[in-house]
Amino acid sequence: YTILSKVHSDRNVYPSAGVLFVHVLEREYFKGEFPPYPKTGEISNDPITFNTNLMGYPDRPGWLRYIQRTPYSDGVLYGSPTVENVGKPTIIEITAYNRRTFETARHNLIINIMSAEDFPLPYQAEFFIRNMNVEEMLASEVLGDFLGAVKNVWQPERLNAINITSALDRGGRVPLPINDMKEGVYVMVGADVPFSSCLREVENPQNQLRCSQEMEPVITCDKKFRAQFHIDWCKISLVDNTKQVSTFQEVIRGEGILPDGGEYKPPSDSLKSRDYYSDFLITLAVPSAVALVLFLILAYIMCCRREGVEKRNMQTPDIQLVHHSAIQKSTKELRDMSKNREIAWPLSTLPVFHPVTGEIVPALHADSYDNTSMPLMQTQQ
């Protein structure tokens, strides 16, 4: 179902088009390319990362992906080759970086894509497994267990793993680091027989309703996967290529489809100079002139047409002006009187007994004391 290989210098591999290809970059192999650990008796566990690219280009081919979780885990190249690359050798440059010594080691991987028989398989199903990460699913024993469970449910003569895609590449979100949550992975498999009744149960109206309500559908064969794989049956995709007609043969040009304009012809190098003076006038001069006119009109209304206090007084009745003037004069007079008043302290605030000897102290009558005011407390003899 899959091709597993270890890293060697200038190694040739022969994957099949439309079949999942997996290539493991083992750290143990590259440890021999770097100097030994400086301390004798200690096991070398240097952090090693890998960089993979197509020879002569900065990135890999579109069908080939690469993943490595940490510098202390192996890297994995995986993907599904396409028919367009059949017969064309693809040279992948693999560069290993030792993060302790900053040394590098380079190897070449030559991928010779072969054409597969009966490709593509007409019936394809894509499963979404929620409790797996992509590197866990790429392990040969885990992928073999999943294909075995699918084969028991589907009962095909030929069953191949076509592609594996991380949920993060489909727009999924990074899971929270709690409860050992997984990001999820999509696994596409192909077979040569129609889908079984168990896989067709997802298309039932009852299960479609449960999926629309975010409830888990009822699938009879789910127990064959539940022990190891938690499948989201609402996200399963069933594709029957035998009923699909090539879209390239039925394209009817009409609204929304641009006509074929032939090859792109770039403009000539001899371009005429363009005068931007009119554009400047339209963009800056005209709005500035309109703003200036509005400013002058507003200034004339605010400054040159003020009626003033005199006109207000002329329109006000005389009796109202007299009352207003009398109120102002009375208020001013009261304020002046309050500033000049001098009133002695009342007798109640004066001491009656001496604070030390306790003798009776007669009330003090200053010259400024107002005899007409009534004290709060009569003087005691």
How confident is the model over 329-365, as pLDDT tens digits? 999 988 888 877 665 555 555 556 666 666 666 655 5
- Of 95-109, 115-129, 141-155, least confident by mean pLDDT is 115-129
Domain spans, the chain: 10-113, 123-240
pLDDT at residue 77, rounded to an integer: 93
Check pLDDT > 80 for residue 11. Answer: yes
Question: Is residue 126 very low, low, confident or very high in pLDDT (cuts 50, 70, 90)?
Answer: very high
pLDDT at residue 140, rounded to an integer: 86
Check pLDDT > 50 for residue 381. Answer: no
- Of 99-108, 153-162, 307-316, least confident by mean pLDDT is 307-316
Q: The whole model's pTM is what?
A: 0.59
Question: Is residue 49 very low, low, confident or very high in pLDDT (cuts 50, 70, 90)?
Answer: very high
Q: What is the 3-state secondary structure (H, E, C) of 8-42?
A: CCCEEECCECCCCEEEEECHHHHHCCCCCCCCCCC
Q: What is the mean pLDDT of residues 190-198?
A: 89
Fold of 10-113: Immunoglobulin-like (2.60.40)
Fold of 123-240: Alpha-Beta Plaits (3.30.70)
How confident is the model over 299-320, as pLDDT tens digits? 988 887 766 667 777 778 888 8
Question: What does the angle CA 112 – CA 113 – CA 119 come to, to the nearest 5 degrees?
Answer: 160
pLDDT at residue 5, rounded to an integer: 42
| Measured distance CA(344)–CA(367) in Å, rounded | 9
pLDDT at residue 8, rounded to an integer: 47
Tokens of 260: 């074929």
Q: How many CA atoms lie within 13 A of 3 on its CB side?
A: 22
pLDDT at residue 246, rounded to an integer: 43
Q: What is the mean pLDDT of residues 32-46?
A: 70
